Amino acid sequence: MIGDDEIQKQQGIIPYVLTGDKHYLDLRAFPDKIKLAVWEKQNHKCAICGKEFDYQFMEGDHFTPWRDGGRTTIENCQMLCRECNRRKGGK
């Protein structure tokens, strides 16, 4: 028997088979391809504070948190500056 905490740490086909939750098929971290596209879409601005930042100072954030089943897709990605991401807390 694998507890929820144990499943949370995993990623891939096994937790997907165990839970039927497709978000386990995604990596938790957004790949650069998605982050760059969202960064362009947001006109290089942080989604929370609205200030402009260079790409390397921003981080990908899940709209629907990973722990709540949010997937690592472009639709579920917003780019935040490090400060806002840290203030938002764990995801």
Residue number, 14 or 49, with CB nearest to Zn ion = 49
> Which of residues 34, 58, 77, 81 is near Zn ion by CB under 5 A?
81
Please tell me the count of residues contacting Zn ion according to CB under 5 A. 5
Window 37 to 66, contacts with Zn ion (CB under 5 A): 46, 48-49
Which token pair is 58? 């921003």
- Closest approach, Cβ 85 to Zn ion, in A, equals 8
Residue number, 31 or 50, with CB nearest to Zn ion = 50
What DSSP letter does each residue of the chain carry, written as one string? ---HHHHHH--SHHHHHHH--GGGGS-SSPPHHHHHHHHHHTTTB-TTT--B--GGGEEEEESS-GGGT--SSGGGEEEEEHHHHHHH---
Binding site for Zn ion (CB under 5 A): 46, 48-49, 81, 84
